[in-house]
């Protein structure tokens, strides 16, 4: 019935909690920048970071991008340059990892995630990731949690400066993978991005409500299946029964 299963990541396969609002996070981050010569106060680095993110998104919107994203490495590069530092690629990637580690409480696969991926793999279906995420965070988290080897292709919003539910983001994936929307099944936990985007391009979907999903969900969704329990075992059964 399908040639590929497309997954959202955070809140669908990976349970995650981060906190970038805690003032101690920004205070600790100043040490990373200071170690490379960029001295910031806690308030200053937080304010500058937020402003640079806002500017990056606004720049894309002015170009007509409805659902833009930004590359956090470019934001870090500008933060260093404000202080007269020209960081190497190594320093930028190091900063990204420290930023993520400092804000991360936990990230772990949901129960049944690996089993589901193994099932799909055994059915000889393509497994594709289409996620609103920063590549500099996500790649090492996929490897750290053991999910990386299961994906045949990975599409992250920061690489394309586009985010779900943009049909352009979905279309780029479909074109590169030489797939038609009706050949794909999308699985995601957010009705405002995952399900809306999949529906817009004509793709069947499974809505999975998890602890990371928006709290208020309409009674009626456009997904073909709806699982409010957050149990991936139910997704496993749906896919197993399709064959």
HEC sequence for 108-121: EECCCHHHHHHHHH
pLDDT in tens, 122-181: 999 999 999 999 999 999 999 999 999 999 999 999 999 999 999 999 999 999 999 999
What is the three-class DSSP state of 162?
strand
Q: Is 21 exposed, middle or buried (0-12, 13-18, 19+ CB in 10 A)?
A: exposed
Q: Which residue has the tokens 């910031």?
A: 40
pLDDT in tens, 5-56: 999 999 999 999 999 999 999 999 999 999 999 999 999 999 999 999 999 9
- Mean of per-residue pLDDT scores for the chain: 97
pLDDT of residue 170: 98
Domain boundaries, the chain: 4-16+106-242, 18-105
Task: Report the Cα–Cα distance between both ends of the chain, in Å, rounded.
Answer: 7
Q: Assign a CATH topology to domain 4-16+106-242.
A: Rossmann fold (3.40.50)
Report which DSSP code applies to 221: -
Whether residue 57 is predicted with pLDDT greater than 80 in this model: the reply is yes
pLDDT of residue 42: 98
pLDDT in tens, 104-124: 999 999 999 999 999 999 999
Average pLDDT over residues 212-231: 96
pLDDT of residue 1: 84
What is the three-class DSSP state of 105?
strand
Question: What is the spatial distance between Cα 44 and Cα 242, in angstroms, rounded to a whole number?
Answer: 54
pLDDT of residue 242: 86
């Amino acid at each position: 019935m399908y040639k590929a299963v497309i997954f959202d990541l955070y809140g669908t396969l990976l349970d995650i909690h981060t906190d970038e609002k805690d003032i101690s996070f920004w205070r600790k981050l100043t040490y990373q920048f200071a170690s490379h010569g960029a001295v910031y106060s806690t308030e200053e680095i937080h304010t500058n970071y937020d402003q640079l993110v806002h500017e990056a998104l606004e720049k894309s919107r002015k170009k007509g991008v409805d659902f833009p994203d930004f590359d956090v490495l470019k934001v870090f590069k500008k933060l260093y340059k404000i202080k007269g530092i020209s960081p190497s690629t190594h320093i930028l990637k190091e900063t990204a990892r420290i930023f993520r580690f400092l804000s991360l409480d936990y990230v772990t696969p949901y129960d049944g995630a690996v089993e589901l991926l193994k099932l799909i793999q055994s059915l000889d279906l393509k497994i594709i990731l289409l996620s609103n995420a920063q590549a500099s965070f996500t790649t090492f988290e996929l490897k750290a949690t053991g999910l990386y080897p299961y994906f045949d292709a990975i599409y992250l919003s920061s690489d394309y400066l586009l985010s779900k539910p943009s049909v352009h983001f979905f279309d780029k994936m479909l074109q590169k993978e030489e797939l038609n929307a009706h050949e794909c099944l999308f699985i995601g936990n957010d009705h405002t991005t995952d399900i809306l985007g999949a529906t817009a391009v004509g793709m069947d979907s499974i809505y999975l409500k998890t602890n990371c999903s928006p709290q208020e969900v309409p009674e009626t969704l456009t997904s073909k299946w709806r699982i409010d329990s957050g149990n991936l075992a139910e997704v496993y059964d749906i896919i197993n029964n399709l064959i």
